[in-house]
Chain A
């Protein structure tokens, strides 16, 4: 089971690439910051022995310092945190408020996916660490 992370690492890297590097309606830096913040909130550590690919680890660690919120507008950060911690609590009003403030549907789509992917990667890493007995 030790190669679990490695077995799917290429697929995960392509997924991260698509979300962070595809042309979009939000700056790639914003998506990167949202993803890194979500991964941290979901338990991503800085363990160098993590079987996640170097690329994913780089995404996480390099952005950790930039993910403190200064590059993410407060309202978007609050929404992304909700998606990360308990997406089932997101309401029409959460999105309505952001839309009324001028955030486009495409921008919300990108932020939502970035937060969800970051949360998934953080949880994956935490699960793999548990399998290693950490």
Chain B
């Protein structure tokens, strides 16, 4: 993570969530999760709502097809996920 604030300066509720994720998964929390939990009212919360609706909400496309579209788009952006 290039921005220290986004790596380390989460507010208490988000810090607790991150600690819980670390505890349950036994792994380092992915940067994308840290980004979504940093000042969530600014970006993370509405972004998660948007993602949930687009990727899991009612759609003529199956969840698998939508995940494939997302993976292909990320590939074109040279961004692995």
Contacts and interface: CB of A to CB of B under 8 A. Distances in A.
Interface of A: 8, 11-12, 14-15, 17-19, 22, 24, 86-88, 90, 92, 95, 104-106, 108-110, 113
- Chain B interface size band reads 20 to 34
Grouping DSSP codes into helix (H, G, I), strand (E, B) and loop, the A interface class, with mixed when no group exceeds half, is helix
A105 B5 contact: yes
A22 B79 contact: no
B72 interface: no
A87 B39 CA distance: 22
A108 B9 CA distance: 14
A104 to B, nearest CB: 8
Given A22-B41, A87-B77, A88-B77, A11 B46 contact: yes
B42 A12 contact: no
Contacts of A86: 78
